[in-house]
């Protein structure tokens, strides 16, 4: 009987070692996920009739939605709770208040911005990230850049600098710095660390090709997520 008990104990210990080895590959078994407990409100810029910057081949609202979904997936893998202002081709109003009618596109666009602010008020996220694509007439300008409002939430500057640093390290094709900017309705009115992320210039021939590339969009998403992780690490420490 004693011998049977010893054999049984050894078998139990062996099974325990195997189980621990399997679980060792699951980082969450040993420590919380990097962004556990963090809520992120992701805003894919524009949408619907408001396509944003565009060329014959590329539309800003399509690019921002694709990148936002990639960011959403990566954030969830790191334990974050993610809320999207829009998940479809239409605008936020079309997704959250589809029965509302407007007399002009201008009125709709303003109410759409107010809807995104309302979502931030309702969801109370830890950070708000609005993803866009830049465009100006001069084709030589390029580089991803992150903006914050100097009169918005005080945490916006730190979030902007964290994501900008991740762009420099991850994309290795921009030396831009995070910049403060006024006149941005979302950044001024959302009461949480908030940034506008301009992922590149669609008006620049080289970046136009990059932004059309799904693999590059994933790299942009990786950098945004890395920046959010950096920011939350600073918040914890």
Euclidean distance between the first and the last CA atom of the chain, given in angstroms as a whole number: 56
Q: What is the pTM of this model?
A: 0.86
CB burial of residue 115 (10 Å; 0-12, 13-18, 19+): buried
Say what the pLDDT of residue 15 is: 44
Give the Cα separation of 20 and 14 in Å (integer).
Answer: 10
Better-scored residue on pLDDT, 187 or 27: 187
Scanning the chain, the segments in alpha helix (DSSP H) are 2-23, 60-77, 92-96, 105-123, 156-171, 185-189, 205-211, 214-236
Which pLDDT tens digit goes with each residue over 177-205?
999 999 999 999 999 999 999 999 999 99
Condensed to tens digits (0 to 9), the pLDDT of residues 119-142 reads: 999 999 999 999 999 999 999 999
Which pLDDT score, from 0 to 100, does residue 57 have? 87
Distances (CA, A) of 105 to 17, 48, 63, 109, 133: 64, 10, 21, 6, 21
């Amino acid at each position: 009987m004693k011998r049977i008990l010893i054999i049984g104990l050894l078998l139990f210990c062996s099974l325990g070692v195997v189980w621990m080895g399997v679980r060792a590959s699951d980082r969450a078994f040993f420590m919380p996920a990097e962004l556990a407990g963090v809520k992120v409100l992701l805003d894919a810029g524009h949408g619907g009739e408001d396509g944003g910057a565009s060329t014959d081949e590329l539309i800003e609202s399509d690019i921002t939605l694709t990148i936002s979904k990639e960011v959403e997936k990566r954030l969830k893998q790191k334990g974050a709770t993610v809320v999207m202002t829009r998940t479809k081709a239409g605008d936020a109003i079309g997704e959250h208040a589809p029965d509302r009618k407007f007399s002009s596109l201008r009125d709709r666009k303003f109410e759409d911005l107010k809807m995104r602010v309302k979502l931030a008020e309702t969801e109370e996220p830890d950070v708000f990230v609005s993803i866009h694509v830049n465009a100006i007439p001069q084709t030589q300008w390029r580089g991803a850049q992150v903006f914050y409002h100097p009169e918005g939430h005080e945490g916006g500057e730190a979030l902007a600098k964290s994501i900008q640093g991740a762009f420099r390290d991850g994309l290795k094709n921009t030396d831009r710095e995070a910049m403060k900017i006024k006149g941005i309705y979302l950044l001024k009115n959302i009461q949480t660390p908030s940034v506008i992320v301009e992922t590149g210039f669609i008006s620049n021939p080289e970046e136009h090709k990059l932004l059309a590339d799904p693999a590059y969009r994933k790299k942009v998403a990786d950098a945004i997520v890395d920046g959010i992780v950096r920011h939350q690490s600073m918040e914890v420490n």
